[in-house]
Amino acid sequence: MLGIKLPHWRAILWGALVAILGVVLLGTVFVFSGLYNVAASARHFDISNALIRLTLRRSVEMRSLSVTPPGDLSDTRLARLGARHFALGCAPCHASPVSAQSPVAAGMYPAPPLLTEAVETWRTEELFWIVRHGLKFTGMPSWPAEERGDEVWALVAFLERLPGMSERDYAALAGTELAPGAADFTFAPTADTDRLVAACENCHGNAESAPVHPLAPPLDGQKQPYLERSLREYAANRRQSGIMEAAAGELAPEAIGELARVFAEREAPVTVKPGERDTGSMERGAAIALDGVRGDDIPACRSCHSVSTSGQFPRLGGLPAEYIMTQLELFRAGVRADSVYAAIMAPIAARLSDEQIRDVAAYFAAAPERGEEAAAR
């Protein structure tokens, strides 16, 4: 039985070998000859085009299978945060209800799709995957901080609402009504301080208006050295945020100092109203913040964040709980670990459980230790 089959197999093997060598040879000739035209103006054959599109669509469909959307995508605050980044970073190429595609972008091949229409052809999970990872060979970049899925969801929350959005609704979400012109390339080095402050406030809020979303923390009253360092770290890609890296990267060094001073001089707000407090969680959080947890090797937060006179440890009291939790989770996961200060916080955050993170955040959000901090100053 085998005696008959063996030459048969050998023939197939030889045939395959010859075929493979032939293909390799032809390919080599083609590549080295320079016959292929890489011009953006030279369009693909229809069949190549169809194949590329199919590959792209299948790839996105398959790879987005493991994506699970968070529960609160319908949250307008999230969409608002996404809209503000969209206006800044995406609209020039993809157009928006109030602006057309830039002619430069239109010259790309493939041309960036007009999102006001194209969004509908993708599922939520797929949109998330594309925004996060970008698309090879298309000019679509990946999210500058790929680990920050939480930020990507903000953008997706906005994109979900984009199809058929009126100019008015868009202006409301993107904040162009509030501060006219703030949503252009506002952080350009030439911009004056007031415009820059307005641009920051567009997301982070001020004494009159709350931040658009807890992920954009209120800046008023934060310590100046910390704010300066944060902006520099964003600009240098040492702290991860797709939104802030884009913004901080545009700022001139003097502007960073100015902005930090302006916000540091303001009075810190109180964001959590007494009625919204979870006292049980706060009490547990207080124990961690004030005394630490010995068995888990967690030091007391207050030592650095309240009683220390150093301006490098951020003031936590009054920051939104969601923001504190997100940052602790980023520290814990080792995403935020690149700066010398993050190197201190990351190993400590790694010892916190989910529940401890929740409790600590609840405690600081209610800002009960203002007095102690003032005394230390």
Q: What span, in angstroms and rounded, lies between the C-alpha atoms of 185 and 132?
A: 22
224 binds another protein (CB under 8 A): no
Q: In the complex, what is the shortest distance from the CB of residue 56 to another protein, in angstroms, rounded to a whole number?
A: 26
Joined tokens for residue 55: 């590959």
Give the interface segment with another protein, choosing from 75-83, 109-117, 272-280, 305-313 (CB under 8 A).
305-313
Q: Could you say whether residue 197 binds another protein (CB under 8 A)? A: no
With binding defined as CB under 8 A, does residue 16 bind another protein?
no
Least distance to another protein, CB of residue 341, Å:
6
* Residue of the chain from 35, 104, 340, 374 that contacts another protein (CB under 8 A): 340
Pick 139 or 299: Cβ nearer another protein: 299
Q: Which is nearer to another protein, 11 or 54 (CB)?
A: 11
> Which one, 85 or 302, has the nearer CB to another protein?
302
Using DSSP's 3-state secondary structure scheme, residue 230 falls into: helix
CB 309 within 8 A of CB 376: yes
Calpha distance 16→8 (Å, rounded): 13
- Most distant CA atoms of the chain, gap in Å: 94
Token output for 91: 């609209």
Per CB under 8 A, 310 contacts another protein: yes
Structure tokens at 262: 């302006």
Indicate the Cα dihedral angle 54, 55, 58, 61, nearest 10°.
Answer: -110
Q: Does 335 bind another protein (CB under 8 A)?
A: no
Structure tokens at 330: 């980023």
**How far is it, in rounded angstroms, from Cα 357 to Cα 343?**
18
Q: Which of 140, 312, 322, 368 binds another protein (CB under 8 A)?
A: 312
Q: How far is the CB of 338 from another protein (least distance, A)?
A: 12
Between 313 and 323, name the residue whose CB sits nearer to another protein: 313
Shortest reach from residue 323's CB to another protein, in Å: 21
Nearest-Å Rg of the Cα atoms of the chain is 26
363 near another protein (CB under 8 A): no
- Residue bearing tokens 């959005």: 165
Which residues 48-77 are close enough to bind another protein by CB under 8 A?
Answer: none
Positions 266 through 295 that interact with another protein (CB under 8 A):
292, 294-295
Among candidate residues 334, 337, 338, 331, the one with its CA nearest the CA of residue 357: 331
Q: Which residues, in sequence order, are bridge partners of residue 99?
A: 96
Q: Shortest approach of another protein to residue 363 CB, angstroms?
A: 16
Please report whether residue 14 would count as binding another protein according to CB under 8 A: no
Contact residue for another protein among 139, 249, 307, 370 (CB under 8 A): 307
Provide the Cα torsion 40, 46, 51, 55; round to 10°. 50
Q: Which residues bind another protein (CB under 8 A)?
A: 2, 6, 9, 292, 294-295, 297-304, 307-310, 312-313, 340-341, 343-348
